[in-house]
Structure 1
Amino acid sequence: MATLAVQAVFLLMGWMAVLHITRSGLSQRVYESVLDENARAVTQFHAQLLHETQGSIDHGSPQWERIQSMVEAYRPPGGAQIFLLGRDNRVLCHPTLRTNTNLRRVDYSEQQVTLLPRGGTLSLARLNPRTVAVGKTEFLSGPAALAFLHDPERGVKIVVYMPDAVLEAAGRRMTTGLLWWGLPTALLVLVLTGLGSAWLVRRYDSMLVRVNRLLEREVQRRTRKGLAIRDALVFGLAKLADYRDTDTGRHLERICRYSEMLALELRSVNPDISVEWIERLKIASSMHDIGKVGIPDSILLKPGILTPRERTLMELHTTIGAETLLAIRRRVGTDALLDMSIQVALEHHEKWDGTGYPHKLSGSQISMAARIVALADIYDALTSKRVYKDAMSHDKARRIIVDSRGSHLDPDIVDAFERVQHRFDEVRAHLQSDEPEQSLLARAVDEARKAAA
C-alpha cells in the first residue's frame, strides 16, 4: 500500500507537470491560430470591400449602407468581431451600429496596440499598415488579440479582434477535456501498477522524452528565426552604407554569391570550411566596406585619381569598419559572425605578398574569409561600371585575376576561381543592372508619389 501511495504521488506530480506544459503549449498555439484566423478574416473582408466599393466611404451614403450591411452579415471564425474605423479613427461600421448609434462617438485614435511578434507599441492612429498586421490591445471590455489593415483609398481601417476571455475559454475547454480524460486513466494505471510498475515507469520516461524533444525543436526553431532576422538586419545596414558610393546596382548580392561560390569550391581541400562557416561568410562579406561611412564624400565619390593624402584617408575605411564591429562585440560578447566580419572588414585589402593595407599582412596571416572576399571584391570592381571607369569584360577581369596569383591574391583561391569562373560570369550577368540601384529606388519613389496624388 505504501508503494502504491508513493507511486500515486509521483504519478500525480508527473501528470500535473505534463498538464501544465501541455496547457501552455495549447494556449500559445490557440493564440497563434487566432491571430492567423483574424488576419485571414481581414484579408477576406478587404477583398469583398474592394469588389463592392470605389473611393472614400462616407457615413450615411448608399455606399456606406452596403458596407454596414456587409459588416452585419460577416461572421469571422471562432467568435471574433469586426468593425471599421474612418479617417478620424472613429467607428464607421459596426455590427450593432444601427441599434447603438453611440458607437459613432468612440474615438480609437489613442488606443494602444502592441505589434506582434516584435512587441513595439503604437497608437492606432499612427498604425496605417497596407498589409495585414497583428497585435494585442486592451479594450474597455478587456484584452484582445486583433488584426487590422488600412485602406487609404477608401479611408478605412478594417479591424478584426477576439477578446482574450474567448481565447482562455477555448484553452480551458481543451485542457479540461484532457484533465477529465486523464483522471480515470491515472486510476487505471494505479490499479495496474502492482502488475507492471516497471512498464509504467518506462512509459512515463518516454512521455518526458517526447515533451523534451518538442521543447528542443521549439527552441531550435526560435533560434533559427532569430538568426534569420539578425542576418537580414545586418545585410540591410550594410546595404545602407553601400548606397553612399556604389552606383553599380546589386553590389552586395554579387559579393555574397561570389564569396559563396569560392568557399564551396575550396571546401573539399580546406577542412575548416563548413556549411555554417560559409553561411557566416555570406553575411560577413556584405560588411567588408562598412567603414566607408566614415570617409568624406569628396574622397569617396571623387571621379578622378586620388591624391596621396586622399588615398591615405580612403584606406582608413578598413580600420573604421573593424573598430565599429569591435565596439559591437564588446557589448554583445564573443560571436563567430562578428569575429569573421571584423577580419573581413580589416583585411580584405591585404595582399598575399604583404604589400597591402592596413597592416601589410602576407600569406596565411590574412584570414581565409578576407582572402576570399578580396578576390570577389576585385572581380566585382573590375566588371562593374563606376563614375570614373567603364565596366570591364569578364575575360579581361579573369586575366587580371590570374596574373595576380601569388602577388595580390592567394594562389589556391585563384585556382578555385578558375574552376568556377564561368559561373562568376553567369552571376554577374544575372545580378548586374545597367541602371543604378539608387535610380531604381528613386523611380519607385516617384511612382509611389504619383499614385498617391
Structure 2
Amino acid sequence: MIEHLQDVMMISIAELVECRDENTGGHVKRTAKYVEILTKALVERNIYSDILNKDYVKDMIRSAPLHDVGKIGINDKTLLKNGYLDEKEFEFMKTHSKLGGETIQRMINQTDGESFLYIAKDMAQSHHEKWNGTGYPDGLKEEEIPLSARVMAIADVYDALTTKRPYKEAFTHDKAVEIILDGKGIAFDPVITEVFEEINSEFELARQIL
C-alpha cells in the first residue's frame, strides 16, 4: 500500500512537471519504459550484475519518471521557447539536472531515506553526464557516473531524438539508433550501448505503442 502510494506520488510529480511543456508530452512514460527495457536486457546478459540486483532494478524503474523533476525550476521563457536556446538560455536549462538532484536530496532529508530516492537523485542529477567526462553538471566520467544515470542517458536521448520539437522534426528510429551508436564510448557507456544496439527494435515497438 505504501509503495503504491509512493509510485502514484512520483508519477504525479513527474506529470506535473511535464505538463508545463506541451512539446515533451509523454516523455516521462516513454523514457521509463525504455529504462525498463534496457535494464532487463542488461540483467538477462548478466552485465553489471554486482549492481543490478533485484532491489536496485526495481527501484531504478520506479524512480525513472523523476529524472526531469528539476525542470520545475526552469522559467517558462526558457522551457517553452519556440526555437533554439541561445547560449545563456542553454546554460540556464542545464541547471535542471542539479536542481533535480537537490530537490530529491531534500526529500531524502525529510524521510527515512527510501532506497529508490537515492537512485532517483542519481538519475535526476547525472543523466546528462557523458562517458568521456564532458557532460554536466559535475563532469563525471566513465563509471563515476551512476549506473542508473548511464541507462537513463540512452533512454532520454533516444526519446529526444525521435520526438518532434519546436526546433527540429522527429528523427526516424534508425537515425536515432545511428546517433546513439556513434556516441559509444564518448557520450554513452560502451557496454550499455552495445546492448542497446542488440535490442533497439524493442525501443521502436514501445515508442509505437506509447
TM-score (norm 2): 0.95
- TM-fit CA distance, 1:335: 1.8
Could you say which residue in structure 2 is the equivalent of 1:379?
Answer: 158
Counterpart position of 1:417: 196
Distance in 2 between residues matched to 1:406 and 1:365, nearest whole Å? 14
Unaligned runs of 5+ residues in structure 1 are 1-224, 432-453
User: In the superposition, relative to structure 1, how do residues 262 and 375 fare at CA in structure 2: closer, same or farther (>3 Å)?
Assistant: same
| Partner residue in 2 for 1:393 | 172
The 5 Å alignment of 1:73-152 reads none
Tell me what 1:270 maps to. Answer: 48
Structure with max Cα Rg: 1
For 1:358, what is the secondary structure of its paired residue? coil
Amino acid at match of 2:55: E
Matched to 2:54, the amino acid is: V
Please state how far the C-alpha of 1:275 moved relative to its aligned partner: 2.8
In 1, the alpha carbon distance for the partners of 2:62 and 2:32 equals 7
**What amino acid sits opposite 1:257 in the alignment?**
K
Kept after mapping to 2: 8 A contact 1:247/1:386:
yes
For residues 232 and 274 of structure 1, what CA distance do their matches in structure 2 show? Answer: 24
For 1:398 and 1:336, the matched residues in 2 are separated by 32
Deviation of 1:246 (Å): 4.4
Stretches of structure 2 that go unaligned for 5 or more consecutive residues are: none
Confirm or deny: 8 A CA contact 2:28 2:65 kept in the other structure. Answer: yes
Q: Which residue of 2 aligns with 1:336?
A: 115
Q: Secondary structure at the match of 2:23?
A: coil
Q: Cα deviations across residues 345-383 of structure 1 (Å, max 9, x unaligned)?
A: 110000000000011100000000000001000000000
Bigger share in helix: 2
- Provide the secondary structure at the position in 2 that maps to 1:385: coil
- The equivalent position to 2:32 in structure 1, one of 256, 263, 275, is 256
**Does residue 1:312 correspond to 2:95, yes or no?**
no
1:229 counterpart = 2:16 = no
1:402 aligns with 181
Give the match's secondary structure for 1:334.
Answer: coil
Moved more, 359-368 or 385-394: 385-394
Structure 2 residue aligned with 1:294: 73
3-state DSSP class of the match of 1:315? helix
Residues 153-180 of structure 1: per-residue CA shift (max 9 Å, x gap): xxxxxxxxxxxxxxxxxxxxxxxxxxxx
Alignment partners' CA distance in 2, 1:230 and 1:248: 24
Structure 2 CA distance for aligned equivalents of residues 297 and 409 of structure 1 = 30
Residue 274 of structure 1 deviates from its aligned partner by 2.4
C-alpha contact (below 8 Å) 1:343/1:369 kept by paired residues: yes
Report the Cα distance in structure 2 between the residues aligned to 1:275 and 1:236, rounded to whole angstroms. Answer: 25
RMSD, aligned α-carbons:
1.1
- AA aligned to 2:150 is R
Aligned to 1:113: none
8 Å CA contact retained: 1:350, 1:356: yes
What is the CA–CA distance in structure 1 between the aligned matches of 2:185 and 2:195, rounded to whole Å? 13
Paired residue secondary structure (2:110): helix
Distance 1:310 1:280 in 2: 33
Q: Please give the alpha-carbon distance, in whole angstroms, between the structure 1 residues aligned to 2:36 and 2:100.
A: 22
Runs of 4+ in 1 over 6 A off after TM superposition: none
- The letter of the residue matching 1:347 is S
Partner letter of residue 286 of structure 1? P
* CA distance in structure 2 between the aligned counterparts of 1:411 and 1:246, rounded to whole angstroms: 33
Q: Deviations over 1:305-352 (max 9, x none)?
A: 222211111111111111111111111132211100111111000000
Aligned mate of 2:146, from 367, 386, 408: 367
Task: String of CA shifts for 1:227-276, please: whole Å, max 9, x gaps.
Answer: 01111111111111111124244221111110011111111122221232
Provide closer, same or farther for how the CA distance between residues 286 and 396 of structure 1 changes in structure 2, counting only shifts above 3 A. Answer: same
Q: Does the 8 A contact of 1:235 with 1:283 survive in 2?
A: no
Percent of residue pairs bearing the same amino acid type: 37
